[in-house]
Amino acid sequence: MPRTKLSREEVLERIGEEFRCHGYAATSLSRIAEATGLGRASLYHHFPGGKDEMVRQVFRKVGEEVGEILALLEEPGDPRDRITASMKAVERFYAGGAKNCLLGAMVLSGGSELFADELAAAFTAWIDTLSATIRNAGVPAGIARRRAEDAVMRLQGALVVARGMKDTGLFRRLLSELPNQLLEESS
């Protein structure tokens, strides 16, 4: 229970941490109250819609942050540099594999039906933007898309395995390999 008051962004950040780490169902209001230092009633003042509204606002915030990472891909300049830069940002975002992905957590913890639209949209945004960047580097459209899909799957899987095996090395290795694999010549 921090004594310094938290800004709205910081509160959302803390709540997001809980959902990322424990999933939807296992994240209770008590946990959120403890993580934010706010009482239950205060939480309902900020989020009248309760837990669902919290999740949606966290989705929005995380969506913005991911948008900044994807924006790195859309900047002008060498595609390889852009992909490398965005992978660095991804590594920071997931704390080198120590933090879960909100999408994965929601998919596998009971939020899959409640937030189906948000989830599908988020995955699609990742794949579409990454695909466009690879295509932009001269890779044919069909291959670019397959590689983008593959990259997103591997990122998700790496976070799951990293957590299951308590070893983030796999995640970090993946990030270092991805730029080359996404842009290589052959099929």
Partner DNA sequence: GTCTATATTTGGATAGAC
Partner DNA sequence: GTCTATCCAAATATAGAC
User: What residue ranges bind a second copy (CB under 8 A)?
Assistant: 22-26, 100, 103-105, 107-110, 112, 116, 119-120, 122-124, 146, 149-150, 152-158, 160-161, 163-166, 170, 173-174
Count the Cβ atoms, other than its own, within 10 Å of residue 112: 12
Among 48, 76, 77, 164, binds DNA (CB under 7 A): 48
In angstroms, what is the minimal distance from the CB of 77 to a second copy?
28
Q: Which is nearer to DNA, 4 or 186 (CB)?
A: 4
Q: Pick what 108 binds: a second copy, DNA, none; C-beta below 5 to 8 Å, kind-dependent.
A: a second copy
Helix 141-165 vs helix 169-183: angle between axes, to the nearest 10 degrees? 170
Distance CA 62, CA 66 (A): 6
Q: Does 34 bind DNA (CB under 7 A)?
A: no
Q: Does 52 bind DNA (CB under 7 A)?
A: yes
Q: Which is nearer to a second copy, 79 or 104 (CB)?
A: 104
Which window, 46-54, 87-95, 117-125, 150-158, contacts DNA (CB under 7 A)?
A: 46-54
Structural contact between residues 19 and 104, judged by C-beta atoms closer than 8 angstroms: no
- Helix, strand or coil for residue 109? coil
Tell me the C-alpha to C-alpha distance, in Å, between residue 99 and each of 13, 76, 103: 13, 30, 12
Among 29, 125, 152, 161, binds DNA (CB under 7 A): 29
Q: Does 46 bind DNA (CB under 7 A)?
A: yes
Q: Pick what 38 binds: DNA, a second copy, none; C-beta below 5 to 8 Å, kind-dependent.
A: DNA
Helix 50-74 vs helix 79-93: angle between axes, to the nearest 10 degrees? 150
Structural contact between residues 102 and 19, judged by C-beta atoms closer than 8 angstroms: yes
User: Could you give the residue ranges of the DSSP H alpha helices within the chain?
Assistant: 8-22, 29-36, 40-46, 50-74, 79-93, 102-107, 116-136, 141-165, 169-183
Q: Pick what 100 binds: a second copy, DNA, none; C-beta below 5 to 8 Å, kind-dependent.
A: a second copy
Q: Name the site residues for DNA (rule: CB under 7 A).
A: 5, 27-31, 38-42, 44-46, 48, 50-52
